[in-house]
A and B are shown apart, each in its own frame.
Chain A
């Protein structure tokens, strides 16, 4: 459509770019949820089996949705953590190391203090959150005080974390077999395991922080205009350090859910979280240069990533197709969310 027709006051109403960018992630999610059953239907149709579209779908079933929710829960926590950082216009790549350290520290504390939630060992849960907070705090200090770009500081801290986790475990796996703790996975309310509700609670807390606290507002202010935030008397360094600390706490939440899901804490617990969480944040529509987006975007993003992973398994596509698709999706998301007329140079 040419710009001159758009200028006509009585012309057809166009969907504005902002509206499109805002709702595109949700639209993608809905399309995906309808697309995978279509593949199933096509396959069964080809094989001559009876298949009613959507109703007979293996993908579109409560059981499978619970599966998606389980795999999405730890990733959601980690992705929320990094959302806050990206809102500030920085990036945190320390999640894999932090998750590993928190998982291992949790398991060690848990077993050391009795090995069951019915004992003092429940203290290992807040303990793990504190470990996450401390790691995030150090991460923030390194970034702010030593003036190292956040991606480099956090990447380095992530490696330190992975190494530290290996040092703690000596390469062993630590089993957490307490039934009460494993009820995160084993006990189901309305078909969904407890961990999904824990993740939902985490999301609501994050939403509260984002929209109702000075800290959340400060994230947007720093991401939207750091110079201005400074000239308005905000302590930007303090906001950054607190942001990284908060991210650390959410990484620890992710670690707890990850351990709850498989019952094992090891150095490799954190593997894969970096790709999933960053992808999810970006695909969800949070802008990489900060100031735009939020935790609900991240929820959609995490669901998109997990629906793709799960759906491709259901219709039987190999792993590399999944990764490739996600990669393309990231590019598409950034392309869509970037107003390229206003961004003249990208470094």
Chain B
């Protein structure tokens, strides 16, 4: 019913979509996969009306349509559930659901709040979310917000005659496994009223949910597979155009570590509201992985190690020294490097060059009396560009212009060149394509061989198992279980999930 034919889209210097054919039938769930930069986002934007294609036709039930903006697409039943949460957190759930469409509840110029709330409750019922629509959105968990987003898009059902197409852009990225299950069940139930386009980095989820899967690479659809024929490896092969090494996580390079003189030592550490009574040791050459759902306290532990948060009780020792004052400066001074999840916000300063980004945490080493030795900074940057194979024309290039993987390498070079030997990685491979992920795994092994201790919050459970020497499973801020994970004796997904939920 909804069909794209020969869609082309150009941007200055890029042919982003090359003659795309795409169609979705009534009640169908279509998966869309591809590496970063393959053109998924552009295609989504064409579908929901944010971009206008340069060539080709869009048709609904055989009628050619052209959307100038997302609102027009919505009027034709096409709605988008955004990856970046698009709810306004200081408004109530009901206000968010009908944001921009309050007119239907206006009587004599005044909003009829009772009617609005009742209507919102009806929408929430569709997604089986039992919350009071008049509470402020900020009070909801991420999973609940995701469902509210879906409910918001489902208001199309009443507004539009005809079929709905709903785009789900990485809807599971902030959800825990059981929340994902709920969402999937819901989506399947809703296929009686709508078709879905599902975009995700998690291949297993795409396979599980989709009836058909479009595989994109370099702005083209390289294959369309039916669920029955779909295999993770063949799809990945088509996405990257090459085989994925069986030793994806570089397990053959995993070495044992000395179990003496811990770099970081937590003893019954608690932080009010985020984690309680946590104890662990991190040794040189060890990768310690914190596993748990969103909000299980993983990030808070990283922040505490780095010094951004002050624990409410317990003892934290870094290299044998008990920490009394928690702040980021002393964390850096003790050799801790923090690679945060939000690369754009906390990873690199856009507008500053590669070499400026590398020395930002250690300017003191490259200055005498406050005056910078820029020659030395640049020499350092050149050395690390070489060492890590960072793809940049030179060290003066604005970091914002590098790809995600290369930005991540700059961030790692920043900490490693400053001599940090405790590295905290928060979702280091999030949003990276497969090749760049492998580079990161390679760097993790390299750092371990150099005697660095790493605390990792991984993007997927597979990644956590593959990379780590030891795994600590957390749930609601509580310690659940500890696993050893030497090659050949790694815990299974089931072992971990069992304790997470």
Contacts and interface: CB of A to CB of B under 8 A. Distances in A.
A230 B352 contact: no
Interface in A280-335: 291-292
A179 interface: no
Nearest to B328: A233
27 contacts: A3-B12, A7-B11, A7-B14, A7-B15, A212-B372, A212-B374, A213-B370, A213-B372, A214-B364, A214-B372, A221-B356, A221-B360, A224-B349, A225-B348, A225-B349, A227-B345, A227-B346, A228-B349, A231-B308, A231-B328, A231-B338, A232-B328, A232-B361, A233-B332, A234-B329, A291-B349, A292-B351
Contact of B351 (A3, A4, A291): A291
A286 B176 CA distance: 44
Contact of A231 (B346, B356, B372, B374): B346
Interface in A210-228: 212-215, 217-218, 220-221, 224-225, 227-228
Contact of A214 (B14, B349, B363): B363
B340 A218 contact: no
B11 A228 contact: no
B352 A221 contact: yes
B10 A4 contact: yes
A246 to B, nearest CB: 12
Nearest to B344: A225
A225 B345 CA distance: 7
Given A7-B12, A214-B363, A235 B329 contact: yes
B429 to A, nearest CB: 19
Contacts of A292: 351
Contacts of B352: 220-221, 224, 291
Nearest to B415: A232
Interface residues of B, number: 36
A30 interface: no
Interface in A176-215: 212-215
A290 to B, nearest CB: 9
A230 B308 CA distance: 9
B347 interface: yes
Contacts of A225: 345-346, 348-350
B329 A221 contact: no
A227 B348 CA distance: 10
A217 B356 contact: yes
A6 interface: yes
B13 A7 contact: yes
Contacts of A228: 345-349, 360
B319 to A, nearest CB: 16
Contacts of B475: none
Interface in B171-190: none
B258 to A, nearest CB: 27
A234 B349 CA distance: 13
A160 interface: no
B298 interface: no
A156 interface: no
A229 interface: yes
B493 to A, nearest CB: 31
Contacts of B329: 233-235
A3 B52 CA distance: 12
B350 A224 contact: yes
A224 B346 contact: no
Interface of B: 10-15, 54, 306, 308, 328-329, 331-333, 338, 340, 342, 345-352, 356, 360-361, 363-364, 367, 370-372, 374, 414
A213 B14 contact: no
A229 B10 contact: no
Nearest to B13: A7
Contacts of B342: 227
Contacts of B348: 225, 228
- Most chain A Cβ neighbours within 10 Å, of B308, B338, B352, B414: B352
Given A224-B352, A233-B332, 14 more contacts: A6-B12, A213-B372, A214-B367, A215-B370, A217-B356, A217-B363, A221-B360, A224-B351, A227-B342, A227-B346, A230-B308, A232-B332, A234-B329, A234-B360
A227 B14 CA distance: 32
Residue with the greatest number of chain A CB neighbours at <10 A, chosen from B14, B306, B349, B367? B349
A46 B15 CA distance: 57
B334 to A, nearest CB: 10
Contacts of B364: 214
A228 B12 CA distance: 30
Contacts of B333: 233
Contacts of B338: 231
A175 to B, nearest CB: 39
B329 to A, nearest CB: 5
Contacts of B332: 232-233
A260 to B, nearest CB: 29
Nearest to B347: A228
Nearest to B352: A224
A4 B8 CA distance: 11
A214 B10 contact: no
Contacts of B361: 232-234
Contacts of A214: 363-364, 367, 370-372
A292 B364 CA distance: 23
Interface string A226-256: 0111111111000000000000000000000
A130 to B, nearest CB: 19
A232 B414 CA distance: 9
A4 B10 CA distance: 6
B178 to A, nearest CB: 31
Contacts of A235: 329
A341 to B, nearest CB: 12
A231 B12 CA distance: 35
Nearest to A216: B372
A7 B347 CA distance: 31
A7 B10 contact: yes
B246 to A, nearest CB: 36
A218 B367 CA distance: 13
Nearest to A1: B12
Q: Max chain B CB contacts within 10 Å: which of A3, A215, A224, A228?
A: A228
Contacts of A221: 349, 352, 356, 360
Given A3-B12, A225-B348, A234-B329, A213 B367 contact: yes
Contacts of B308: 230-231
A232 B54 CA distance: 43
A121 B306 CA distance: 52
A229 B338 CA distance: 12
A234 B15 CA distance: 41
